[in-house]
Amino acid sequence: MSTATIIDGRKFSATLRGRIAEEVTRLKNDHDLTPGLAVVLVGEDPASQVYVRSKGKQTLEAGMNSYEHKMSAETTQEELLAKVEELNNDPAVHGILVQLPVPDHIDDHAIINAIDPNKDVDGFHVINSGRLATGARGASAPMIPCTPLGSIMLLKDHLGDLSGKTAVVVGRSNIVGKPMAQLLLQESCTVTIAHSRTKDLPDVVRQADIVVAAVGRPEMVKGDWIKPGATVIDVGINRIEIDGKNKLVGDVATAEAMEHAGAITPVPGGVGPMTIACLLANTLTAASRQNGLKEPNLL
């Protein structure tokens, strides 16, 4: 039986973070500019707390300023909007991320679209999704959502040119599935977006040279759904309990899929670390743009 190449997102992200740190040093030395990232966390969701801590640590390690704003679960929409406005107007803050999900009584669309699009390092603002969908470049280039951006970097690093390949994205969320499909389309893939109403999902996935699983269901994509030699990007992060132990698994049954795929991202150590590295990359890009400086080329 053949076995797939493991795509090492941890290693790739470490290299990327190294380049970002070099660029940050250059900005500090040549322009007296330190990029700053503000992360807002509403409530006490344990998984969110882990991510926010990890983001803060890596922001500091890249030489950037990190500002954490923790707000209680009872925060009102008006209070959160006021916080966003304060950060929009703070010249030391170049990137703003409001950790999702926010509590149910808050309208997440309203919050996301209150962020200055130029500081929207998540790339979730309608202006940025519109710019991504229309292929805007130059001064109006979009901020690209971090998870899809990190996934496309891994794909291009592994496969080179993606042109003409068949790609199936399972999941159609605004934060992963839809922007992922846009990026694959931009790379001239033939793209299918599958979701919970898709019929014959295993057969749809079997057509794909590139499979992106962003579903949020542990190990849902089975090994025999994978076309021989296909490249599999597993975005899923699911905490499950096996024999009383907590385990992190993706949306793909990795061990099975390894018997069919040409290459696959592991969970943990695949897309997750790339998401945070791309958040830092977007913060650096945002700081450069806001100060009229040329954007660094990080690849």
Active-site entry in 58, 83, 99, 209:
99
CB of 62 to ligand GUE, least distance (A): 15
Among 111, 237, 249, 284, binds ligand GUE (CB under 6 A): 237
Q: Phi then psi for 2, rounded to 5 degrees? A: -80, 155
> Which whole-number Å values give the CA distances from 132 to 66, 102, 140, in the listed order?
27, 24, 10
Residue 116: what residue type? Answer: D
User: Judged by CB, which is closer to ligand GUE: 94, or 227?
Assistant: 94
| C-alpha to C-alpha distance for 295 and 138, rounded to whole angstroms | 10
The single residue among 116, 120, 122, 187 that binds ligand GUE, judged by CB under 6 A, is 122
Contact 205, 226 (CB under 8 A): yes
Count, residues near ligand GUE per rule CB under 6 A = 18
Query: At 112, which amino acid appears?
Result: I
How many Å from the N-terminal Cα to the C-terminal Cα in the chain? 35
Given candidates 36, 177, 273, 296, which one binds ligand GUE under the rule CB under 6 A?
273
CB of 145 to ligand GUE, least distance (A): 8
99 catalytic per annotation? yes
Residue 215 contact partner, candidates ligand NDP, ligand GUE, none, CB within 5 to 8 A by sort of partner: ligand NDP
Contact 280, 298 (CB under 8 A): no
Indicate the residue among 75 and 275 with the shorter CB distance to ligand NDP: 275
Read off the tokens for 93: 């803050």
Q: Which residue is nearest to ligand GUE (CB)?
A: 272
- Among residues 93, 97, 263, 277, which is the contact residue for ligand GUE, using CB under 6 A? 97
Q: What is the rounded CA–CA span in Å between residue 46 and residue 221?
A: 27
Beta strands 245-249 and 263-264 are unpaired
> 122 catalytic, yes or no?
yes
The verdict on 14 binding ligand GUE (CB under 6 A) reads: no
Question: Which of residues 23 and 120 has its CB atom nearest to ligand GUE in the complex?
Answer: 120
For residue 268, whether the previous peptide bond is cis, meaning omega lies within 30 degrees of 0, is yes
CA separation (Å) from 294 to 139, 144, 290? 10, 17, 10
| CA angle at 205 for the pair 201 and 207, rounded to the nearest 5° | 125
Q: Which of 55, 83, 178, 227 is catalytic?
A: 55
Catalytic residue among 122, 209, 234, 251: 122
- Among the listed residues 50, 92, 110, 255, the single contact to ligand GUE using CB under 6 A: 50
Part in contact with ligand GUE (CB under 6 A); list of ranges 97-105, 194-202, 254-262, 286-294: 97-105
Ramachandran class of 53: left when φ > 0, alpha when ψ lies in -120 to 50, beta otherwise: alpha
Encoded tokens for 116: 């200055």
User: Is residue 171 annotated as involved in ligand binding?
Assistant: yes
Choices 14-22, 192-200, 221-229, 270-278; region in contact with ligand GUE by CB under 6 A: 270-278
186 is catalytic: no
Q: Per-residue DSSP letters for 141-152?
A: PPPPPHHHHHHH
Is residue 275 at the binding interface for ligand GUE, with CB under 6 A as the rule?
yes
Binding stretches for ligand NDP (CB under 6 A): 147, 170-173, 175-177, 194-198, 201, 214-217, 235-238, 251, 271-272, 275
| 62: three-class secondary structure by DSSP | coil
| Angle made by CA atoms 89, 36, 63, in degrees to the nearest 5 | 165
Nearest distance from C-beta of residue 105 to ligand GUE, angstroms: 18
Annotated binding-site members for NADP(+): 171-173, 237
Indicate which residues carry an active-site annotation: 55, 99, 122
